[in-house]
Structure 1
Amino acid sequence: MPELPEVETIKNGLSILKGQSITKLNILSTHCLRPNHNRFHSLRGQVVTNISRRGKLLIIHLSSGNFLIFHLKMTGKLILADFQDILDKHTHLEFFFKSNRLFFNDVRKFGFVCLFSKQELLEWNFWRTLGPEPFKISSIDFAQQISKSKANIKSLLLNQKIIAGIGNIYADESLFISKIHPLSKANKIPFNILQNLHKNLIFVLKKAISLGGSSFKDYVNSLGKRGNFQDHFFVYSRAGKSCYKCKNTLKKIKVAGRTTIVCLKCQKRYE
């Protein structure tokens, strides 16, 4: 699933659309449209005024005051194309602009697209319950919030109501750099270690964004190009291989139902 760095990379790539109007919309499949497909016909003639991100959501701001919101889920993609490019069989939406097109592709069909007014957006439960952005919460506030919970630390990082945008990749990587076992009880981790975790999380996210995200499976950016952060993984997807720090074999465990890679020597378990 595209996480914060991947969605941020896509957002940056789509900045070319700002100021352009949607001249036509080709709806090839209605299953992904929320709350209903009929309102999407009103998009024609609307101008893209801004493009932003909230957690794992990509938001296109429209001149009508409405918001076009994409949740890419597992395999969703937003691809800029010219007029000669051929539709993919997994393309569900095709937006036409003056000089290019924008495809919404999704092989597994878990992704969705919402068209909301500002009031509808503010009342949308998913939006209302999103936690703070990692970049907009201080290390102290992060540590204070996390330290209140008895849950394991990785499940908290994955919980979008606690902090928005973090998924399996960046949880594993930041916990490894912070030398914290993913099953550590949050309220048992020293406060300064939690502060350091936040700093390392920011470091990992910024590095991933600078490298265009992680293309471990399906992800590509808005130009169809792969990211490069997967070449810098310390632990993610490296089960059975040697830890770069201590040379011990990395182990695969389950945390919050998610495959998790850990170094039992480098990462301390707080209980």
Structure 2
Amino acid sequence: MPELPEVETIVRTLEKSLLNETVNHVELMYEPLLETDSMYPMEILEGKKFVGFHRRGKYLCFEFSDGYYWIIHLRMEGKFHLYGTHHRLTKHTHLLMQTEHHEIHYLDTRKFSRMAVTKDPDSYFMRKKLGFEPWDTHLTSSYLYEAIHKSTRAIKLILLDQSIITGIGNIYADEILFDTQIHPLTKGNKITKKQCELIINSTRNTLENAIAAGGTTIRSYTSALNVTGRFQITLKAYGQEGEPCSRCETPMVRIVVGGRSTVFCPKCQKVKR
């Protein structure tokens, strides 16, 4: 699933090509992609101009003239392909959008992604109960400590909870916990305020580095111009089961936490009882 760095990369890529272009034609071939509470049909964007490109957590948010916003959650396999000329549709192309100079194809092999068109993105995201962005000044060690200090959930699951910090997924949760030397099964009520500060700093640094590398390509992720990310070559935890720890050379161990594959170093990341 594309996480914050991958979504940010897609937003920046599309902005470079599509800013100020006008939509001439929209065709949604798989209707269930459009959420039932979408305020408008996709066709309302015909004749509208791309005027802004934003991200909220793992959501892409495209701003159009006349106050319209197109919001997309890529889920597992959603992706954009951008072409300069007419290009044939594939069986996984579920939306076609044409501008003066580009053809935008939206593909999703598993059809899990969802989208909506609205004039009130704040209300839309409020309904999704998203937490603070990693760089929000309100995301402090005091905030995080207060949010989790009574919780008996594993810290790995807390990091995946989009209502606390939005944008972190399985890949970067493993990387953050490895960086801070916190065992993924450590309960929230065992995390100290100092560790909360370490988690926030590591979250920001890890995601910034991933964005700079164009995201992490695992399986099928590519940017809108079909370019793979490069952060996967620097991963220290995710997918490293059996490999020597980059700090102590102890073999990395894989467990399952809340149904999610999790890799950590049993020596550097000791569980806090």
Q: TM-score, normalised by structure 2?
A: 0.93
Asked if the contact 2:218–2:232 (Cα under 8 Å) also holds between the matched residues in 1, the reply is yes
Unaligned runs of 5+ in 2: none
Partner of 2:19: 18
Asked if the contact 1:7–1:53 (Cα under 8 Å) also holds between the matched residues in 2, the reply is yes
Shift of 1:55: 0.6
Q: TM-score, normalised by structure 1?
A: 0.94
Q: Distance in 2 between matches of 1:37 and 1:101?
A: 25
Q: Distance in 2 between matches of 1:126 and 1:73?
A: 19
Partner of 2:192: 190
Instruction: Return the letter of the residue paired with 2:8.
Output: E
Asked if the contact 2:145–2:192 (Cα under 8 Å) also holds between the matched residues in 1, the reply is no
Deviations 1:9-48 (CA, angstroms, capped at 9, x unpaired): 0010011312111111122221211236972222110111
Partner of 2:152: 150
Deviations 1:201-237 (CA, angstroms, capped at 9, x unpaired): 1110000000000001111001011000000000101
Alignment of 1:54-93 (within 5 A): 54-93=56-95
Partner of 2:28: 27
Q: Distance in 1 between matches of 2:145 and 2:103?
A: 44
Q: CA RMSD in A?
A: 1.7
Instruction: Return the letter of the residue paired with 2:6.
Output: E
Identify the range of structure 1 (19-28 vs 258-267) with the bigger mean alpha-carbon deviation: 19-28
Q: Distance in 2 between matches of 1:212 and 1:227?
A: 5
* Corresponding pairs, count: 269
Shift of 1:146: 3.0
Partner of 2:251: 249
Asked if the contact 1:30–1:37 (Cα under 8 Å) also holds between the matched residues in 2, the reply is no
Identify the range of structure 1 (143-152 vs 257-266) with the bigger mean alpha-carbon deviation: 143-152
Name the SS of the counterpart of 1:23 in structure 2: strand
Asked if the contact 1:176–1:267 (Cα under 8 Å) also holds between the matched residues in 2, the reply is yes
Q: Distance in 2 between matches of 1:199 and 1:146?
A: 17
Deviations 1:71-94 (CA, angstroms, capped at 9, x unpaired): 100000012112143323211001
Q: Distance in 2 between matches of 1:66 and 1:53?
A: 15
